[in-house]
């Protein structure tokens, strides 16, 4: 019985979070077409924000560049799943050394995995920069990486179609696929958080210098988390491409970055629960506001375009002022009956710490 | 000698001389204290032992090997430092803090047994295993910091102002812990402003005067016979109730 309790205590947070994403999936599959679309894209957002949280949540360093990994996953999926004849028309000017790209083709599941792996490779290439930088410099460097990615995608027309849309991607992503990947992402993120590397990275988030003094190789663990989070965000990109069936390079730039940053900051970027709750809550809020703006709740009286975005930004400002570390702080969701004295104290302590500036050195 | 400091000069930048010609040694199983007022150079000396401040001249050796040529983690394997700020990870649990203490060790199999050893030594840490470290009292945090340092199985434990800012009853507790560690054979260098308590528990003491000069060293009785030391401390070390 004691062992069972211990096991329950260890798995309760990921179990609750998987339960939450399952709920979103059920809403999607039982609702109308619009609801299904909102729910599926919310699950894709969960995958992305959980991926971002693997890095930012454990290291305490915010990244504004993760959308580049999503782009890597989306473009890979497009290349692997667009039917070969269509691809030959779309990419008639492929440079010779990349001409093989017009011939390759795979099923959606393979393209999904490939999307994650290509993003992980991009993560591997950029990891040395992240390992060496801290604080503000690190945040700006991630933004610079996003700018580089955007400009390459926008300008390398013969390979990426530039500002024209990628079209003809078969619909591979279903609500259940999105749920499956979101659940897997939650489990992977939780396992990493509890791993030796995750623990050491969280220690560096608390006190960079004390962590170094304990012999913790902070840069190495930051790089590990960066690559793992790139992989998860790449999966989100692949799901995104496979759901929308067409996308544009502008989908992977500042608007998307801001939207995901709102999700993770509102939920609480230091906590995995915060990432999941933030992604689901902001997705729902955006949809409600969209309907409000379209006049669905006001008898057809439409509001000026952009009101929904303004309200989301205002909500973010209020949360930043009232709860700088988001709705969850550094807490994780737990079952109330398992919250005994010791564990409850740990949570309260974590909450107390969350109100103080966390070192992002 | 486990730790030997010979004629060490330390300075910040090119002008601020923090330590000038300090010599000190700590033998196997000894409890040696370093006492002196604020600004005497104690903290700079500790930083130099940990390789954080470069040695301008002189030498610092641990088991005969110079610390100047070693990386920080190598130094730490021999000299475990409990910093003045305690350096605990506030939002992590007691258990996680302890696991982090042994994170650089290669003998993973032995770590669990050593954590158990520290929990025997500091039972309060077992009670609060799942509690966030920031919720512990100052004295409990200090015990956690010491336990974490001991998990490296160091040659010498370097305690930097362990009782700073603690209530008198907790100061007693920390000194009891220090004495118990000494009785278990641990080699300790204790850096303290609390001269009376340090003299009471130490085998030998060094009295440091700004800028990092050793005014006198020896047992409390020996220091009591040095007029300069008595004048600097404002009391005679010979009069403290030495417990050793």
ipTM over the 0.90 cut-off: no
- A117 inside domain: yes
Domains present along chain B, CATH in parentheses: 1-78+155-162+186-243 (3.40.50.300)
Mean local confidence (pLDDT), A179-195: 97
- A352 inside domain: no
Q: Is the pLDDT of residue A349 over 50?
A: no
- A359 inside domain: no
Percentage of chain B with pLDDT > 70? Answer: 95
Residue A113 at interface with chain B, using a CB cutoff of 8 Å: no
Would the CB atoms of B103 and A214 count as touching at under 8 Å?
yes
Would the CB atoms of A345 and B96 count as touching at under 8 Å?
no
A-facing residues of B in 98-137 (CB < 8 A) are: 99-101, 103-104, 128-135
State residue B77's pLDDT score: 61
Would the CB atoms of B93 and A346 count as touching at under 8 Å?
yes
Q: B86: exposed, middle or buried (C-beta count within 10 Å: 0-12, 13-18, 19+)?
A: buried
- A261 inside domain: no
Return the higher-pLDDT residue of A144 and B171.
A144
Neighbours of A17 (CB within 10 A): 27
Which residue range is the domain that position A200 belongs to? 12-256
**Contacts of residue B135 in chain A, CB cutoff 8 Å?**
345-346, 348-349, 352
State residue A15's pLDDT score: 95
The dihedral over CA atoms of A323, A325, A326, A329, expressed in degrees to the nearest 10, equals -110
Percentage of chain A with pLDDT > 90? Answer: 74
State residue A354's pLDDT score: 41
- A289 inside domain: no
Mean local confidence (pLDDT), B209-230: 90
| Spatial contact of B163 and B196, defined as CB atoms under 8 Å apart | no
| Spatial contact of B178 and B25, defined as CB atoms under 8 Å apart | no
Q: Worst-scoring range by mean pLDDT, A66-80, A297-311, B20-34, B151-165?
A: A297-311
Mean local confidence (pLDDT), B122-148: 91
Would the CB atoms of A206 and B89 count as touching at under 8 Å?
yes
Mean local confidence (pLDDT), A190-202: 94
> Which of A99-108, A231-240, B62-71, B202-211 has the highest mean predicted lDDT (pLDDT)?
A231-240
Mean local confidence (pLDDT), A187-207: 94
Q: Is the pLDDT of residue A76 over 90?
A: yes
Per-residue pLDDT tens digits for A117-129: 999 999 999 999 9
Distance, in Å, from the CA atom of A222 to the CA atom of A330, rounded to the nearest integer, reads 19
**Contacts of residue B73 in chain A, CB cutoff 8 Å?**
215
Domain count, chain A: 1
In the structure encoding, which two tokens stand for residue A85, read together? 């004849």
Q: Around A33, how many Cα atoms within 13 Å sit in the side-chain half-sphere?
A: 0
**Any alpha helices (H) in chain A, and if so which ranges?**
2-30, 33-59, 67-81, 84-90, 108-132, 135-155, 157-160, 175-194, 196-206, 208-213, 218-244, 254-267, 272-293, 307-322, 341-354
Q: Report which of A115, A66, A101 is spatially closest to residue A242, judged by C-alpha positions.
A: A115
Q: Is the pLDDT of residue A351 over 70?
A: no
**Contacts of residue A212 in chain B, CB cutoff 8 Å?**
72
State residue A356's pLDDT score: 38
Per-residue pLDDT tens digits for A279-294: 999 999 999 999 988 8
- A98 inside domain: yes
Return the higher-pLDDT residue of B169 and B68.
B169
**Contacts of residue B93 in chain A, CB cutoff 8 Å?**
346
Confidence of residue B14 (pLDDT cuts 50, 70, 90): confident
Mean local confidence (pLDDT), A3-27: 90
Mean local confidence (pLDDT), A217-231: 96
Residue A207 at interface with chain B, using a CB cutoff of 8 Å: yes
Return the higher-pLDDT residue of A223 and B1.
A223
State residue A344's pLDDT score: 44
State residue A292's pLDDT score: 87
Mean local confidence (pLDDT), B98-107: 86
Q: Is the pLDDT of residue A57 over 70?
A: yes
Mean local confidence (pLDDT), A15-32: 96
State residue B69's pLDDT score: 66
**Contacts of residue B128 in chain A, CB cutoff 8 Å?**
342, 345
Chain A's closest residue to B74, CA to CA, is A215
State residue A358's pLDDT score: 37
Confidence of residue B169 (pLDDT cuts 50, 70, 90): confident
State residue A168's pLDDT score: 94
- A66 inside domain: yes
The mean pLDDT of chain B is 87
Q: Is the pLDDT of residue B152 over 90?
A: no
Q: Is the pLDDT of residue A355 over 50?
A: no
Would the CB atoms of B132 and A210 count as touching at under 8 Å?
no
- A90 inside domain: yes
Confidence of residue B71 (pLDDT cuts 50, 70, 90): low
């Amino acid at each position: 019985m004691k062992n069972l309790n211990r096991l329950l205590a260890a798995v309760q947070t990921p179990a609750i979070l998987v339960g939450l994403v399952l709920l979103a999936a059920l809403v999607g599959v039982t609702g109308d077409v619009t609801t299904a679309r909102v729910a599926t894209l919310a699950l894709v957002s969960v995958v992305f924000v959980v991926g971002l949280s693997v890095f930012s949540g454990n290291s305490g360093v915010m990244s504004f560049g993760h959308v580049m990994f999503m782009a890597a996953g989306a473009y890979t999926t497009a290349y692997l799943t667009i039917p070969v004849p269509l691809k030959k028309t779309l990419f008639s000017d492929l440079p010779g050394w990349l001409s093989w790209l017009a011939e390759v083709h795979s099923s959606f599941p393979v393209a999904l995995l490939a999307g994650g792996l290509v993003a992980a490779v991009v993560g591997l290439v950029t990891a040395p920069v992240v390992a060496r930088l801290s604080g503000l410099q690190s945040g700006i460097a991630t933004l610079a990486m996003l700018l580089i990615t955007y400009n390459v995608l926008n300008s390398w027309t013969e390979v990426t179609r530039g500002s024209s849309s990628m079209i003809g991607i078969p619909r591979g992503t279903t609500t259940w696929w999105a749920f499956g990947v979101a659940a897997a992402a939650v489990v992977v993120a939780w396992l990493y958080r509890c791993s030796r590397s995750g623990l050491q990275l969280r220690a560096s988030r608390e006190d960079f210098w004390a962590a170094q003094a304990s012999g913790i190789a902070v840069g190495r663990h930051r790089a590990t988390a960066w690559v793992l989070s790139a992989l998860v965000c790449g999966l989100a990109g692949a799901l995104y491409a496979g759901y929308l069936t067409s996308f544009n390079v502008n989908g992977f730039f500042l608007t998307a970055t801001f939207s995901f940053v709102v999700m993770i900051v509102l939920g609480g970027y230091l906590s995995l629960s915060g990432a999941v709750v933030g992604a689901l809550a902001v997705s729902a809020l955006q949809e409600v506001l969209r309907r409000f703006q379209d006049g669905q709740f006001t008898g057809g009286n439409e509001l000026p375009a952009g009101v929904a975005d303004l309200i989301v930004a205002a909500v973010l400002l209020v949360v930043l002022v009232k709860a700088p570390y988001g709705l969850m702080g550094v807490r994780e969701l737990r079952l109330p009956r398992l919250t005994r004295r010791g564990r409850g104290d740990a949570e309260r302590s974590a909450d107390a710490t969350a109100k103080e500036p966390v070192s992002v050195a | 000698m486990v730790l030997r400091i010979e004629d060490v000069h330390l300075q910040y930048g090119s002008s601020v001389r923090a330590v000038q010609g300090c010599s000190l040694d700590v033998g196997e199983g000894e409890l040696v204290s370093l006492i002196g007022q604020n600004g005497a150079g104690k903290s700079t000396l500790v930083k130099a032992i940990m390789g954080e401040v470069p040695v301008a001249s002189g030498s610092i050796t641990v088991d005969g090997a110079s610390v100047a040529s070693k990386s920080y983690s190598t130094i730490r394997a021999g000299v475990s430092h409990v910093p003045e700020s305690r350096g605990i990870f506030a939002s992590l649990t007691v258990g996680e803090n302890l696991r982090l203490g042994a994170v650089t060790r290669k003998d993973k199999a032995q770590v669990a047994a050593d954590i158990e050893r520290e929990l025997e030594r500091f039972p309060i840490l077992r009670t609060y295993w799942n509690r966030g470290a920031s919720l512990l009292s100052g004295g409990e945090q200090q015990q956690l910091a010491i336990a974490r340092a001991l998990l490296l199985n160091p040659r010498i434990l370097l305690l930097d102002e362990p009782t700073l800012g603690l209530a008198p009853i907790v100061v007693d507790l920390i000194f009891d812990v220090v004495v118990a560690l000494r009785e278990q054979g641990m080699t300790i260098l204790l850096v303290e402003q609390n001269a009376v308590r340090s003299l009471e528990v130490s085998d030998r003491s060094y009295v440091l005067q700004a800028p990092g000069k050793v005014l006198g060293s020896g047992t409390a009785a020996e220091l009591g016979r040095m007029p300069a030391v008595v004048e600097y401390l404002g009391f005679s070390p010979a009069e403290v109730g030495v417990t050793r």
